[in-house]
Structure 1
Amino acid sequence: MTTMKEIASRTGVSVSTVSLVLNNRDEGRVKPEIARRVRATAHALGYKSNPLARSLRTGKTRILGFVSEEVATTPYAGGIILGAQDAASSLGYMLLTVNTDGTSNEADEIATLKRYGVDGFMYAKMSNRYVDVPDSLRDWPLVLVDATDREGRFASIEPDEFRIAYDATKRLIDAGCERIAYIGCLEPLIAQAGRLEGYRRALEDAGRAFDESLVTNVLNNGPALKAVSDLFDRANPDGAFCFNDARAWYVYECAARRGLTIGRDVSVVGVDNHRVFAETLAPKLTTVELPHYEMGYWAAVKLVSMIEPDRDLAAFERPKTTAPLPALDVPMPAKIHCTLVEKESVRGENRSLD
C-alpha cells in the first residue's frame, strides 16, 4: 500500500507537506504547483487514505448520517440517498443511512448513528413539510432534506414549489388553454401552499382571474375521482395542473368518460415524473421532475461545508443534473428550480392527436 513517505520521496517534499495536501489543508501553506504535483503523484501511485488513522488524528470519522422517514423505502425518491452518497464519496466521506417509521424508533436510530461516530446528519422527509427537529440533533451539524424546521434555524433544501406550479400553469397558458384547473392536495403541506400560489400568480400574470370553481383539493381513491368529476361537470376545464402525477390519473379518467382526448381537448401537467404514472398513462404525461438526486447531493455538500468550515468547496466540481444546484450560501431554505419534462399530454406536443 502506498504511503505518504513514498509520495514525499517521489515528489521531493516533506511528509508533512504531503499530509497537508492529501488532507486538504494545503491552501495558504503549500505552493499550488507543489500541491498539484503531490496530488498527481498520489493518484499515479494509487494512494488510498486510511480512514481509521485519520479519524484518530483529527477526531473526525468522515461519516455522514442520513435519517429518513419513508425515503429509503420509496422507489422514486431513492434518488435523494443516491445524490447524498455520490456527493459524500466525492468529498471523501461515507454515508450511513437509517430508515425510521416516525417517532417510535427515530431516537434509537439516531443514537445508533452517534455510536458510529458520525460527523453530522441529514434529516429527510417526504412531501416537503414543516418538521420539529429532534432534540438529539439540535447541537449537531444538520441539514434538512425536503423539509423545513418550524423555527427556521437549520439549513435545508427543498423544491421551489412556487416555481413548479408557475412553470406548469404557464405551459398550459402558452398552449392556449382557457380554463385551467388545479387538482390540489388536502394535506397541509408546504408543497400544497406553494403550488396553489404559483398557479394563482401565473394566471394573474397572464391577465387571468383566479376562479375558485376551477380548484379542487383531494386525497385519493373514490372521493378524489368524484371531486374531479364534479369539477369537470361544473367548470368544463380544457387544462389541468395536478399536484402530482397520481392525481393526473383522475383527470385522464374523467376525460375518457366524457369522450375527451388528453393532449387535444384537455391538456395536463403533473408533478413527480413518477416512473409508473408519467410513462404508463397514454398519452405520456408532461410533468415537472422533482429534484430528489439534486436535493441529496446539495445537502451532503452543505453538510460537509459545516463540518469543515475552512475547506474551500466553491470550486468543487458539481455533477450535471436535471435541475441546477443552488449555491451553498443562499438564504434558507435553499430552493431548487425544477425542470418541466415535455411529453405528450399538452396540446401541440403530440402531433398524432391532431
Structure 2
Amino acid sequence: MAQSSTTQRVNRSKRLVSIKDIAKETGVSVCTVSLVMNNKDRNRVSKAVAQKIRETAKDMGYKPNSVARSLRTSKSNTLGFVTDEIATTPYAGRVLQGAQDAARKLGYILLTANTNNDADLENQEITALRRYNVDGFLYAMMYHRKVDIPEALEGSPTVVVDSEDAAGKVPSIYPDDELAGYDATKRLIQAGCRRIVYYGTEADIIAQGLRFEGYKRALAESGIPFDDALVVNVLEMTNAADEAARVLDEIKPDGIFCFNDVRATFIYEAARERGVRIGADVSVISIDNQPFITDVLKPSLTTLELPHYEMGFEAIRQLVGMLDGDEAVKDLKSDHGVAVQGHRDGAEMALRCRVIERDSIVS
C-alpha cells in the first residue's frame, strides 16, 4: 500500500531533508533547488519558483549541511566578533545581541573574542579565529573613536562597529552623535526651555565635540543665541558635583542637556539637595539610556538610547552583503521591530539615537 503524503512527511522528519527531497516535492531539478538554497537564483530562477522552493524547504524542516557547504564553497559560514570589552559589559551587550540575531537569520554562526584592550591578546584571538576559517570580522569598540585596524585583519572582510576606521578603508558603523546632541536640545526647546545648559565632558573624545555641535545647531535653528556661559564641561571623578551645584545656584537654567546619564546623576543630586524639582522647575535630558541609572532616578530620566542593537544588526548586514552580495541580505528584518535610521557617507554609516520619553522634562 502506498504511503500517504502525511506519512511520507513524518518519515522525512526522522532524517535530514536533502535538496533532492525538496526537488521531488516541488517538481523542479536539484540544480534549481541548489541555486535557490545558496541564494544564487537571481535572474536564473523565476521569483515564483524560488518562493515555492523556499516555502517548501521551510515546511519540510530543511537544514543546510554546513560541513558539506564549507567544503564546496571554501566558506565556513562563521563570523568573528572581536571586541575590546563589549562582550563583558551588560550596558553595551546589545551590540553583540543585534549581531547574533542578524547572523542567525542569515545562516551564520558568530564566534566572539574579548580582548580587554590588550593588543597582544587581540592578535592571539584573531589568529585563533582564523584557524576556524571565519569568513569575515566585526571589529567592535566600547565607544565612538577612530581606530587603526589590526594588521591581523588585513585581507579579511571587516566592518568596524561603534568606531571609525582611521584610514577610511573599512566600512564603519557608529552613533550619529551630532544628531543626538541636536535631538536632545531640540526636545528641551520643544518643552519651552530657552536657557539651556550643556553639561558636557572634559574628555577629548569624538562624541563630546559632535554632541556640542548638535546642541549649537538646535539653538541656532530656534533663534536662541549661543551663550558660552551655559557650557559646563566636567569630569566624573573630580569636579562634576561642584559644577552641578554651580549650575543650579548661579546659572539657574530652565533646561539641562547632559552628555550622558552618569552626569545626569550629579544634576539630580544637586537638585535634591536644593529642593529643585526636576520635571517641574527644570527639565533634564541626557544620552545613553543605561538601565541601572534610568531605572533608579526619580523622576525617571528622559534620555536618548544609543543604537547598540542596531549597530550590531546592521554591521552583520553589511558584512554578509560583502560576502554573499546585497541580494542575500535584502530581506533581513529584526524580530525586535527596531528600524535602523541613519545616513551613509561613503563607507561610513551614522545611526540615529532614539529619544526615550520619561518624566524629567516639563510637560
TM-score by length of 1: 0.93
Question: What's 2:3 paired with?
Answer: none
Question: What's 2:19 paired with?
Answer: 4
Alpha carbons 1:131, 1:149 under 8 Å: kept:
yes
Deviation at 1:177, TM superposition (A): 1.7
Q: 1:63 to 1:10 in 2, by over 3 A?
A: same
Question: What's 1:111 paired with?
Answer: 127
Alpha carbons 2:144, 2:207 under 8 Å: kept:
yes
Write the distance in 2 (CA, Å) between the matches of 1:16 and 1:232.
Answer: 73
Write the distance in 2 (CA, Å) between the matches of 1:200 and 1:32.
Answer: 51
State the Cα deviation string for residues 101-150 of structure 1 (Å, max 9, x = none): 11241111111111111100001111211111111113211111100011
Alignment of 1:264-343 (within 5 A): 264-309=280-325, 311-326=327-342, 331-343=346-358
Question: What's 1:38 paired with?
Answer: 53
Matched, 1:259 2:290: no
Comparing 300-309 and 312-321, the one that deviates more: 312-321
Q: Which amino acid aligns with 1:24?
A: N
May I ask how many residue pairs the two structures share in their alignment? 347
Deviation at 1:294, TM superposition (A): 0.4
Deviation at 1:11, TM superposition (A): 1.8
Question: What's 2:5 paired with?
Answer: none
Question: What's 1:75 paired with?
Answer: 90
State the Cα deviation string for residues 270-313 of structure 1 (Å, max 9, x = none): 11111111121000000001111000000001000011236443
Question: Identity over aligned residues, as a percent?
Answer: 48
Question: What's 1:57 paired with?
Answer: 72
**Gapped regions of structure 2 (runs ≥ 5):** 1-15
State the Cα deviation string for residues 151-191 of structure 1 (Å, max 9, x = none): 22211111111111111111111212222111112222221
Alpha carbons 1:80, 1:293 under 8 Å: kept:
yes
Question: What's 2:208 paired with?
Answer: 192
Alpha carbons 2:147, 2:164 under 8 Å: kept:
yes
TM-score by length of 2: 0.91
Q: Which amino acid aligns with 2:108?
A: Y
Q: Which amino acid aligns with 1:58?
A: T
**Gapped regions of structure 1 (runs ≥ 5):** 349-354
* Cα-Cα RMSD: 1.7
Alpha carbons 1:255, 1:266 under 8 Å: kept:
no
Comparing 230-239 and 123-132, the one that deviates more: 230-239
Question: What's 1:234 paired with?
Answer: 250
Alpha carbons 1:323, 1:338 under 8 Å: kept:
no
Deviation at 1:341, TM superposition (A): 0.9
